[in-house]
Amino acid sequence: MPKVELHLHHEAAAPPSFIRGLAKEKNIDISRIFDADGNYVYRDFDHFLTVYDAACEPLKTPEDFRRLTLAALEETARHGVIYCETFVSPDFCGGGDLLAWRDFLAAMKDASEEAERSFGITHRTVVTCLRHLGPDQAKVTARCAAETAGDYLVGFGMAGAEMMGRPSDFAYSFDMAREAGLKLTCHAGEWGGPDMVADTIRDLKVARIGHGINAIKDPALVERLAEDGVVLEVCPGSNIVLQAVTGWAQHPIARLRDAGVKVTVSTDDPPFFHTTMTHEFDMLNRTFGWDDADFKALNETAIDAAFCDDATRRRIK
C-alpha cells in the first residue's frame, strides 16, 4: 500500500550500515554506539539523544548529506512510502552558518530529485531546531529556515529534549518561520503532559504536533484537538521502544482516532526503534484490527496535512 510519512528524522532515516561505512571512510570511531549486531544501543531517551548526536559525527560535508539523503530515501521508498517529509537540523549542517547551510540544503535537494526519479518518492524538508540547545540557537536555526524557505523546504519545527523550557521560550523562532511562509510542527506530549500540548498549540500556533500522545490524559483537550483539526504525527513503535507507552495494546492512537482526532503514523527514527512503515502498519492491523479502509483513511489524513504545495498534494493523492 502506498504510504505517506510526515515524522522522520533525516539522519536516522538511512540504514546504520550507511553511517558505519561513512565513519570508516573518515576514520571516525563511533563503535561505542553499536552492539555486536550493528544496531544502535542506548539506555533511555536522554542517552538516545546523545547516541543520535554521535551517529551524526561522520556527517560533515554537503556531499555526505547528498549520499545520506539518497540512502535514506531509497530505504524509505522500499517500504512503500511515496511522499515523506524529513526533519533536518542546520545544527548538524554547518552549525547554523547560513552560507554553509545553503550548500547542505542544495546537496539534499539534488539527492531528493534523484531519488524521485530513481525510487518514485517525493520528499520535502522541515527545518528542526533542537530544544535542548536553547532559544538563542533556535533563532539561528529559524533564520536559516526563513532564508531558504521554498518548494523543497516547506516547514519549521522543534525536536530534542521536550522537558527543557516552555513552548513560549521559542515563540520568536516560530513567528519568524511562519512569517517566511513555513508551515509549523513541534514535538510535544511525547514526554510532557496535556499542558505541554495545549501550550505548544497556543504559543507556537502549530498545525501539527509531533507525537502528542499524552493529550489522551485530558478528555477536554482531546475534544479540542478534534474540533480544531490539529494533526498528530504519531510514532507508536518509537513510543513503545522508548517506553513513553508500555505496549502496543496500551497505545492511545486508536482511542485518539476514535475520538475524532486527526492521527497519522510515522516511524520517527526507524533503525533506532527497529521499525519501518511496513512494521507500524502491520502492528496496527494486529493490535487494533485496522484494515485497508482504515489505512487508506490514515493516508488521506496525512496527505491533507502534508506541508507541500497543493499541486504536489494533488499529484500524490
d(CA 115, CA 194): 38
For residue 94, give Cα distances in angstroms to 91, 130, 316.
Answer: 6, 14, 33
CA distance 190 to 131: 14
- Exactly one of 67, 187, 208, 262 binds ligand ADE (CB under 6 A); that residue is 187
238 binds, among Zn ion, ligand ADE, none (CB under 5 to 8 A by kind): ligand ADE
Q: 85, 162, 190, 233: which one is catalytic?
A: 190
Q: Does residue number 269 form part of the binding site for ligand ADE (CB under 6 A)?
A: yes
Q: What are phi and psi of 156, to 5 degrees?
A: -135, 140
Among 118, 94, 95, 121, CA closest to 107: 94
Site size toward ligand ADE (CB under 6 A) is 9
Coil/strand/helix, residue 7? strand
Q: Is the dihedral of CA 171, 175, 176, 181 positive or negative?
A: positive
| Residue of 62, 96, 155, 160 that binds ligand ADE (CB under 6 A) | 160
Site string for ligand ADE, 51-70 (x = CB under 6 A): -x------------------
Query: Could you confirm whether 190 is annotated as catalytic?
Result: yes
Instruction: Report the alpha-carbon distance of residue 133 to residue 82 in Å, rounded.
Output: 33
Our CB check for ligand ADE shows the closer of 102 and 166 to be 166
Site for Zn ion (CB under 5 A): which residue of 237, 268, 271, 273? 268
11 binds Zn ion (CB under 5 A): no
Report the interface residues with ligand ADE, using CB under 6 A: 9, 52, 159-160, 187, 190, 238, 268-269
Residues acting as catalytic residues: 190
